[in-house]
Amino acid sequence: MPDGSPLSALHSIRFKGCETDILCAEDQKVLMAMEQKIHFPNPRPVRVGCRKGGCGACRVKVTKGSYTAEKSSRTHVTEEEAAEGYALACRISPRSDLELEPAFLGPRRPVENGD
Amino acid sequence: MSQEGLLRPGIIQLRVLDMDEAITHYRDRIGLDFVSQEADGRVYLKAFDEFHRHSVVLREADSAGIDFFAFKADGQEAVDGFRKRIEEYGVDVTDVAEGEMPGTGKRISFMIPSGHRIDIYADMELSETAPETHNPYVWKDEPRGMRAQRLDHCLLYGPNLPEVEKFFTEVLDFHIPERVDLPDGTLAIWMTVSNKAHDIAFVNHPEPGKLHHVAFFLEDWSDIGHAADVMTRYDISRDIGPTRHGITRGQTIYFFDPSGNRNEVFCGGYTAYKDHPTRVWDGNHVGRGIFYYERQMNDAFLSVVT
C-alpha cells in the first residue's frame, strides 16, 4: 500500500533538535515521512535502518501526541518502554500532532536471549 | 571427492515478527518454495535449485534475528570427528535429536565466541521437488520472484573476532579468502569451507549474536536487476544496491525482510581455492571493499543488525 495517500489526515511531526517540522499522514509511518521530507544536506534527526521494526536504529521517545504502533522487536522496545512512549519511528503512524526525540540505544554488550 | 569434512552452509533459522508476512516475502518475493509448516509453528522453505528438503527455517518470535546457522558435513563420521575436535578445543557440544526438524538427521550444536550458535549435521532427506538429475532441464517450474537459486552465506556481527577466526580455521578447517585489518585489530573476516568466496563472514561488533544479513544466490547481474524491479514493485525496504562488493567481487543488493532482517541477493564472486593467499584491505580502502562503485560504506552497513 502506498504511503501518504491524499485522502489521509495529515499531522505535524516535531523532532527535538530539528528546526523543520514535517507533515505525516495517518496512513504513513513517521520514519518514511521523515525520509521523504528531510534529506541531504540537512541532517536527519532519526537514524534510518531496516524500516521494518527489527533493528532499533529509529528508536524514539514520543513526548507529546497520540499514535498507533505496529509490532516491533521487543529487543528494542519492551512492553514497559512502549507504555512510556518509546517506539520505533518506522512502526508508528500519527493520530495527532507529535513531538518526539531520538532514543537510539546503540549496540548492547550484555548477552540477550532473543526471545 | 577432494572436499571432505564440512561441505557447505545447509540451514539458517531466522526469527520473524509476523509469520504470514515472512512467508509472503521469502516465498513470493525471494522465490523460495514453501516446504511445510510444523506443529510448533516453524516454517520450512527451500530454493528451487537446492536438492535437500529445506534450507531456510522461520520461527515466529517477539524479536528479529538469527537462531542458528548450520553446516552440512559429508557423513556422520565427519560430524563425530568435528565433535571430538570441538570438545578437545574446550567448547561444549549439545546434541540435537534426529527429527527435531522434519527430514533432518541428528545435529551437534555449539556456541562460538561471537555469541552465535552453529550446528553441524550430515543427513537430510532429498526434496520431492529437487532439481532433475537425469537429462535435466535447468528448472522444472519457472522460478518465482527474485529467482533465488540457493542459500549462499551469512554475515554475523559479534565480539572476539580473533577467537572466532582461530576456531573456524583450526577446528572447522575453514580458510580465509579476504579480510579487513584496522590498526586496532581485525574489522572483518570472510571465510569459506568450500571454494565459494565466502560461506560465512564476521564483523567485529560489541553486541554478541547479531545478524547482519543472510544471502541468496542469483544466476547473474541480469537477475540482480530483476530482483531490484521486484523490490520496487512490492515496496521492499532497500538498504543499498544494485552494486558490487570489492571484497568477494560479488554483485549485490541489500534489503530487509518484513521483520527487519537484512537479506542479500548475490551473484558472481571469485573462486577461492585453499592455496590462494588472503586478500587484505586496510581502513583507508575498506569503503571500496564493501561497496565497489560507491567507494564508501553507508551509515547502515556498520550499525544496522538484528
Domain for residue B28, yes or no? yes
Residues B159 and B283 placed together within one structural domain of the fold: yes
Q: Which residues of A fall within a CB distance of 8 Å from B203?
A: none
Residue A2, pLDDT above cutoff 70: no
Q: Do the domain assignments include residue A110?
A: no
Look up the domain containing B55 and give its range. 6-121
User: Residue A27 belongs to a domain with what CATH number?
Assistant: 3.10.20.30
Q: Are residues B59 and B182 in the same domain?
A: no
Q: What is the pLDDT of residue B302?
A: 86
Whether the ω angle into residue A41 lies within 30 degrees of 0, i.e. cis, is yes
- A14 part of a folded domain: yes
- B30 and B117 together in one domain: yes
Q: Which residues does residue A86 pair with via DSSP β-bridges, in sequence order?
A: A61
The answer to whether residue A109 is domain-embedded is no
**Count: domains in chain B:** 2
Does residue A3 sit within a domain? Answer: no
The predicted pLDDT at position A110 comes to 57
Read off the CATH number of the domain in which B96 is found: 3.10.180.10
For B212-221, what is each residue's pLDDT tens digit?
999 999 999 9
> Does residue B170 sit at the A interface (CB-CB below 8 Å)?
no
A70 lies in which domain range?
10-102
| Residue A66: per-residue pLDDT | 98
Q: In what order do the strands lie in the sheet with A98-102?
A: A22-25, A10-15, A98-102, A59-64, A86-88
* Cα B252 → chain centroid: 14
C-alpha distances in angstroms, B283 versus A89, B33, B286? 33, 41, 5
What's the pLDDT at B268? 97
Q: Judge whether A28 is closer than 8 Å to chain B, CB to CB.
A: no
Identify which of A48, A51, A115 has the shortest CB distance to residue B62.
A115
Which chain B residues have a beta carbon less than 8 Å from that of A111?
Answer: 115, 208-209
- Average pLDDT for residues B21-38, to the nearest whole number? 98
pLDDT digits (tens, 9 = 90+) for A88-113: 999 999 999 999 999 999 888 755 55
Kindly tell me if the per-residue pLDDT of A114 is higher than 50. Answer: no
User: What's residue A4's pLDDT?
Assistant: 55
B115 and B161 part of one domain: no
Give the pLDDT band of residue A41 (cuts 50, 70, 90): confident
Co-location of B170 and B81 in the same domain:
no
Q: Is residue B132 part of a domain?
A: no
Task: Inform me whether the C-beta atom of residue B24 falls under 8 Å from chain A C-beta atoms.
Answer: no
pLDDT category, A20, cuts 50, 70, 90? confident
Tell if the CB–CB gap between A49 and B304 is shorter than 8 Å: yes
Q: Would residue B133 count as lying in a domain?
A: no
Residue A4 lies in a domain: no
Shortest alpha-carbon distance between residue A60 and chain B (Å):
16
Which one is catalytic: B54, B116, B198, B212?
B198
Total domain count, chain A: 1
Cβ of residue A37 closer than 8 Å to a chain B Cβ: no
